[in-house]
């Protein structure tokens, strides 16, 4: 749909913006005070929204966004891609998710930020960045990237993009609603997910797709 150079520019922009956002958040966390008011305001707002029905609903949603569940979904999608002969896309999907998980674990164990005290689901691991949000962002970004061009109709493309966006937002918000994360954990997870996928796509486009294009031109 777009030439390779145009895709590279787009994903370079995504990579640069997400990196900048992540750096700003980390700088705020290291300063200890700069971004604390944002966490506090959103925490107070969300806790006043809680009802038994919404709590049950968002517990279900947050379980769907569990990194283990999405890893299993990634394995199924990658298998489907391989069966259809799309080995490149399958490797890209798996590699992107793997990079996002590795960076996530590095940041979590580096900062070791405690979770909010109003945590409903009693998770014990470190808070920043959100694992659910990081993996969810990477997963749905990859889902759209891998299948957008294969949707035959405009309606199919809209359903794919809108469904992925809504699914991601619901999981993001579920982590806030349940008190599993601070607002900055969510923003950091989104930035990290986008950073991981855009970096991987750029690397694949330059190192693999670029060589393919060069070889095809040389054989003409």
The neighbour count for residue 5, using CB atoms within 10 Å, is 11
> 16: left (phi > 0), else alpha (psi -120 to 50), else beta?
alpha
Whether 61 contacts 77, CB under 8 Å: no
Q: Which of 35-39, 80-84, 179-183, 200-204 has the lowest mean pLDDT?
A: 35-39
| SS3 call for 159 | helix
- How sure is the predictor about 219, in pLDDT bands with cuts at 50, 70 and 90? very low
Render pLDDT for 59-78 as a digit per residue (tens, 0 to 9): 999 999 888 899 899 999 99
Which of 136, 7, 134, 156 has the alpha carbon at shortest distance from 65? 136
pTM of the model: 0.85
| SS3 call for 94 | helix
Which of 121, 192, 136, 135 has the alpha carbon at shortest distance from 169? 136
> 113: left (phi > 0), else alpha (psi -120 to 50), else beta?
beta
């Amino acid at each position: 749909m777009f030439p390779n150079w145009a895709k590279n520019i787009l994903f370079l922009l995504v990579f640069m913006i997400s990196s900048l956002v992540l750096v700003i958040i980390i700088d705020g966390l290291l300063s200890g005070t700069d971004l604390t008011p944002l966490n506090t305001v959103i925490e107070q707002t969300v806790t006043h929204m809680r009802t038994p029905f919404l709590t049950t609903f968002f517990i279900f949603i947050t379980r769907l966004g569990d990194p283990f569940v999405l890893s299993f979904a990634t394995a199924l999608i990658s298998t489907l891609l391989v069966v259809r002969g799309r080995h490149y896309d399958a490797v890209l999907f798996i590699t992107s998710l793997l990079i996002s998980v590795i960076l996530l674990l590095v940041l979590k164990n580096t900062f070791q930020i405690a979770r909010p005290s109003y945590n409903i689901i009693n998770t014990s691991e470190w808070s920043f960045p959100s694992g659910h949000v990081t993996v969810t962002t990477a997963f749905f970004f990859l889902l759209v990237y891998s299948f957008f061009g294969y949707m035959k109709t405009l309606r199919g493309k809209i359903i794919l993009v809108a469904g992925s966006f809504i699914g991601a937002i619901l999981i993001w918000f579920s982590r806030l609603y349940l008190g599993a994360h601070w607002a900055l954990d969510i923003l950091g997870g989104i930035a990290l997910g986008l950073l991981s996928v855009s970096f991987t796509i750029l690397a694949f486009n330059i190192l693999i797709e670029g060589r393919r294009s060069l070889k095809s031109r040389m054989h003409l």
